[in-house]
Structure 1
């Protein structure tokens, strides 16, 4: 195979591996069956390890995607040929006798198999926590650490969920097909992809402001749902695409030259991507045609209100507060109430928002979340209450897990503490 003169780049290769991981696992599972999905994962993991080792020594090949697929195919064929696996994989190989020897990886097949894998991982017989962990690991290539971060959980807990989830896949003998009741499983697929986007947009621990690869992967997966003709209900998928594009439009303005977060009030809106905003509005209009007022539709509409405001002072906070009130009727959670309190402060003043946040804290564990204290600190600052501002900034610093958040909070504290 001809080698290019491209040097091995760990970050770019990680991005490439993540994009290909779920695709290859999905196609291999087509041939060896859902019962053996862990074997498919092992094959892909070994493929990626080989690529890391060989590419680091010899450079990245001219067609890295073809290299990965060929290596994965050879490893799969080697496993299928072993006598001890013959009976185990007989059903799978007999199901696709003409394809078995070649193991083709066409673009159309990859798309179909990924859609099937989404619904396999989200099968109704598997508990929701296991579903989300499986789709993040198998289809999106998340590491156990990244899944733990997304769940605000531990690696041990996530590993147990994956083990139990794979066990349920085997025990329930789930077919690797698009389900006839596809719309029943659709909400959990959408929820999982939304979680994927959020982890990319606001990573919980890694020292990265924005992980574009995760956000782009989430958008790609939702587009697979929208493109499929067997899925009739697409309002939520369009709403999700709207939300993702609108939020993604602000990427470039969210950090400064020192790699610190720039809060929305201080962002240079000329850096907002007008093309992504236009696409987001277009998808929002598509969602509106379905006539369904869902969580994703409301969140996308809130994001649209931010995006169309020329300046922060032009933001229609009364409209946004009204949208949050509607959202609470659909899903009442401490996080939504926290975000509503921000809108409340801008629409009706800091004092009433502080009272609201104190009430939320009494009825939930939101006080363990650094953004709760960050928000309170900002509201007390507006009220010129220096003591409470400092107190909540220090508490936020003690709870923040991401270095990105710590840097911002520490800067806020330095700017707040008076020079003696």
Structure 2
């Protein structure tokens, strides 16, 4: 097997995994068996493509192999599988004659809505999405959740069993139910992205497997649900945020603040695509929270330099966001923006009420924001304490190194 074949299979895994698995689930009505057959197809590709070459349509080839493998296994295990709970597929659901059909009929969309069904807890929804749609291994999913592999394996297994035992339908919601159900899906995709954008722990600032997986899912949703403003807003937000990815850390992994990033290296293609999607998302009324978040990211993207950032507009957008999505983290980001608009004293005053917010008690960014304002004001003793607290609450090595450097700077000025 050559390196070229290995890369072709890896690329097919990144691009086609969700499609192959989703199509195979339709045959097996069993998530575990479908995963096994999809994995077998990729293993088979390593052998056959090395001999016969990469097919013109790798995804179609992989889907055919996986579904044929599933059919063979089902023939052998018919008696055994009669005793197992299986997914309820579209064909097995007896619906009233006047019930609306799904807006889009696509196996990948069925799989997304199955993983994000409201009967499942949010952590189970995210874990299944990472495992089944992003194609991450159980080890990688466990790392994203900061738990042991065995713990995550058990969690995923329980979620799969609940899907089958609770007879959760493997289908796209009707047009009537879609607005409610799509919101949960978008929340999961956004959480996958944010987990990768700044990894909670580890050496790397960014987990590209997670950010890329979330972007693929958001693009897939936008293709399958064109004209949906919520989906357009989320994809715009992810693109505008991810456009800065290559400038957020130095080659040796040191954190680079937004103010110090080389804007000439931002991905202009993603910025243009995100801005166009934002226009589409804002055409709906009222705007969604993802559209407003994307608008904030767009203000940063459009500023030619940090000094040119329109903090007045950003603060106004955060005011809108607070009405759409009341959230302590939104309040924190708004307070930081106020400090940029009106000065560090105003920023500290805006942060003060948040110090008693239970949801932010272990959120290191609150301490880091306070520390920065205190440092800028020359209040060295208070800044030292705030940086120490932020450092204790951070688990990402790049962020910890940055905070440690700031702490050293403050201590030197305090002497």
RMSD: 3.5
Distance 1:147 1:284, change over 3 A: same
| Contact 1:150/1:195, CA 8 A, preserved across alignment | no
Cα distance in structure 1, aligned partners of 2:15 and 2:406: 37
Q: Paired residue for 1:30, among 26, 30, 54? A: 26
State the partner residue of 2:100: none
| Contact 2:348/2:373, CA 8 A, preserved across alignment | yes
State the partner residue of 1:63: 54
Whether 2:287 is the aligned partner of 1:293: answer: yes
**What stretches of structure 2 of length at least 5 have no aligned partner?**
92-104
Deviation at 1:137? Answer: 2.2
State the partner residue of 1:225: 221
| Contact 1:4/1:61, CA 8 A, preserved across alignment | no
State the partner residue of 2:190: 194
Distance 1:391 1:47, change over 3 A: farther
Distance 1:59 1:390, change over 3 A: farther
State the partner residue of 1:367: 361
State the partner residue of 1:106: none
Matches within 5 A, 1:237-276: 237-276=231-270
- Provide, for residues 326-351 of structure 1, a one-character-per-residue CA deviation record: whole Å limited to 9, x for no partner: 21122222211221111011112212
Whether 2:107 is the aligned partner of 1:113: answer: yes
Deviation at 1:124? Answer: 3.8
Normalising by structure 1, what TM-score?
0.81
Whether 2:211 is the aligned partner of 1:215: answer: yes
| Contact 1:79/1:85, CA 8 A, preserved across alignment | no
Normalising by structure 2, what TM-score?
0.82
Deviation at 1:206? Answer: 3.4
**What stretches of structure 1 of length at least 5 have no aligned partner?**
97-110
Whether 2:131 is the aligned partner of 1:137: answer: yes
Q: Paired residue for 1:351, among 333, 345, 350? A: 345
Distance 1:124 1:399, change over 3 A: closer
Q: Which moved more, 1:396-405 or 1:65-74?
A: 65-74
Deviation at 1:316? Answer: 1.1
Distance 1:79 1:136, change over 3 A: same
Cα distance in structure 2, aligned partners of 1:46 and 1:208: 31
Cα distance in structure 2, aligned partners of 1:188 and 1:60: 44
Whether 2:388 is the aligned partner of 1:394: answer: yes
Deviation at 1:415? Answer: 3.3
Deviation at 1:30? Answer: 0.9
Deviation at 1:18? Answer: 4.9
Deviation at 1:258? Answer: 2.7
State the partner residue of 1:325: 319
Deviation at 1:367? Answer: 3.2
Count how many residue pairs are aligned between Structure 1 and Structure 2: 394
Deviation at 1:234? Answer: 0.6
Deviation at 1:262? Answer: 0.8
Cα distance in structure 1, aligned partners of 2:210 and 2:254: 20
Deviation at 1:257? Answer: 3.2
- Provide, for residues 290-327 of structure 1, a one-character-per-residue CA deviation record: whole Å limited to 9, x for no partner: 22322101100111111111111111111111111221
| Contact 2:24/2:63, CA 8 A, preserved across alignment | no
State the partner residue of 1:340: 334
- Provide, for residues 78-112 of structure 1, a one-character-per-residue CA deviation record: whole Å limited to 9, x for no partner: 422324446469999x999xxxxxxxxxxxxxx92
Q: Paired residue for 1:304, among 295, 298, 304? A: 298
Cα distance in structure 1, aligned partners of 2:112 and 2:386: 42
Cα distance in structure 2, aligned partners of 1:179 and 1:88: 28
Q: Which moved more, 1:335-344 or 1:21-30?
A: 21-30
| Contact 1:373/1:393, CA 8 A, preserved across alignment | yes
Distance 1:146 1:348, change over 3 A: farther
State the partner residue of 2:99: none
Deviation at 1:29? Answer: 0.7
- Name the SS for the 1:418 alignment partner: helix
Deviation at 1:209? Answer: 2.9
State the partner residue of 1:415: 409
- Provide, for residues 374-415 of structure 1, a one-character-per-residue CA deviation record: whole Å limited to 9, x for no partner: 212111111101222222222222222122212222222333
